[in-house]
Amino acid sequence: MIDFSDFTKNVAKGACFLGSGGGGNYSSACELLGYYNKHDFPDISEKEPLKVIMPEDATAGHAVVLAFLGSPEKLENAGAEAIKTAIAAVKEQRHILEQQGKTLRYLIPAEVGAVNSIIPCIVAHYLGLTVIDGDGAGRAIPTLKVSSFTAEDINPLPCVFTDHNGYSITLNAREGRVINSISIAEQLARPVVSTDEFAGYAGLALWPISHEQIVHGVRISGSLSCAEKLGGFLNYGSCEDREFKISRVTEILTHINSGKVDSGSYKLKGKLLFSGNLESASVSTGAGFDYGSVVIKGQNVSYTGIFQNETLLCWSSDSESPLAMAPDSIAYLIEDSQQIYSNGDLIDSKTGQLDEDLVGVKCHVIRFSAQSAMMCKTVVDEFGKIINRMGYYGRLKV
């Protein structure tokens, strides 16, 4: 039996580490779990335990993919209203399926990230559904066009997005290529999400699929279990004095690379890229994204990470080529009690700059190799287009 509180707490920490700086802030995930456990959902003690299964174990009914779409900074402090927004999106998809004589049984995380890994767990627990242990990317992603569901040519429609004011918009189409459908869905959704009414984020439920299609869409299985095991290690790790030293970084990487947190097809390989002190960070929000950079100062060298919600590209000042780029994940391991931060967690939402409490704090940059399912031509080409728009036109370093 899964303990909902312990499981989701560990998933949030592990998924934040694996999300390449995106997928929602760790602070937001903790806030959402706090609201769900203590505030506006008083009947949850009567709910059945959370059910999590591997894709191949889904034997009946249909599934939908669930996430929040928009700016992680805008989602910060949204609280219980954000949870209700996600619940509304799933209820609308359930209603659509019921009108077709179908039954919704499963929720699938769209990606790996602190918020977008736990929100399917919260909503599934509340509505009595089962969570599929897997996702479409193995990391957080800047566009759904780089999801394995798109790569597998699975129809994403109807797509439902909802806001905290009770608005619900359903997008459908009679015909068209899947990659065009997902492009149109995002192109329509992000400007709407950026309006004052939607306040910068929306609940997003899409890819309604049969249980037979789940194994084809969820090409990366075991990501929730992996995040939970990794989060548990980070939360309760074996360093006796709990002081964060370079030995702690080595300990974490050794644990990751040993295969002890691997699950299903999700295999982790991590490498330390850079160590230094946090110097600056900045963010601007537009079109449903947070754009910005993080600068870390080393000895006579500096690191710069460039993000569009997720960190997609990073450089060292003494190198002619990038240290790492998507689809690999780029993570920050920080020498304080929290240890794991998303890009949004690093930044003071009031100033749009690096949180003053983090200035000068030791930070280690770690690269996680992309999951094998993310190395197909469709996904790599789409990442390449995004990285081109960031001003890099060299060979993809994957």
pLDDT of residue 82: 92
In-domain check, residue 184: yes
Task: Give domain status of residue 185, yes or no.
Answer: yes
pLDDT value for 398: 59
Report the CATH number that the domain containing residue 112 is assigned in CATH: 3.40.1610.10
Q: What is the pLDDT along the chain (398 residues), one digit of tens a residue?
A: 799 999 999 999 999 999 999 999 999 999 999 989 876 676 776 788 999 999 999 999 999 999 998 878 788 878 888 999 999 999 999 999 999 999 999 999 999 999 999 999 999 999 999 999 999 999 999 999 999 999 998 989 999 999 988 889 998 876 655 556 888 888 888 888 888 778 888 999 999 999 999 998 999 999 999 999 999 999 886 554 445 556 789 999 999 999 999 999 999 999 999 999 999 999 987 766 788 999 999 999 999 999 999 999 999 999 989 999 999 999 999 999 899 999 999 999 889 999 999 999 999 999 999 999 999 999 999 999 999 998 888 877 65
Q: For residue 393, what pLDDT is reported?
A: 85
- What is the spatial distance between Cα 198 and Cα 191, in angstroms, rounded to a whole number? 10
* Number of domains present in the structure of the chain: 2
Q: Based on the domain organization, do 162 and 286 belong to the same domain? A: no
Instruction: Give the span between the Cα atoms of 85 and 167, in whole angstroms.
Output: 9
Examine the domain organization and report whether 321 and 275 are in the same domain.
yes
Check whether residue 185 and residue 265 sit in a common domain.
Answer: no
Q: What is the pLDDT at residue 241?
A: 47
Question: Could you tell me whether strands 104-109 and 168-171 are parallel, antiparallel, or unpaired per DSSP bridges?
Answer: unpaired
> Do residues 131 and 265 both lie within one domain?
no
What is the spatial distance between Cα 24 and Cα 345, in angstroms, rounded to a whole number?
9
By C-alpha distance, which of 323, 320, 302 is closest to 367? 323
pLDDT at 186: 85
Q: How far is CA 112 from CA 20, 97, 99, 120, 225, in A?
A: 9, 26, 31, 11, 11
Query: Is the domain of 379 the same as that of 270?
Result: yes
- Check residue 1 and give its pLDDT: 74
Domain CATH code at residue 360: 2.40.390.10
- Domain holding 314, by residue range, is 250-389
* Residues 91, 165 contacting (CB under 8 angstroms): no
Identify whether 324 is part of a domain.
yes
For position 391, what pLDDT does the model report? 87
Concatenated DSSP letters for 84-103? Answer: HHHHHHHHHHHHHHHHTT--
47 falls within a domain: yes
Residues facing residue 332 across a β-bridge: 365
pLDDT given at position 240: 47
Closest CA relative to residue 10, chosen from 222, 226, 223, 232: 232
Angle at the Cα of 62 (from 59 to 66), degrees rounded to 5? 120
Cβ neighbour number for residue 10 with a 10 Å cutoff: 22
130 and 53 part of one domain: yes
Same domain, 166 and 210: yes
- In angstroms, rounded to a whole number, what is the distance separating the alpha carbons of residues 119 and 112? 11
Whether residues 187 and 75 share a domain: the answer is yes
Token pair for 365: 């940059």
Alpha-carbon span 348 to 316, nearest angstrom: 24
Report pLDDT for 39: 62
Within-domain flag for 284: yes
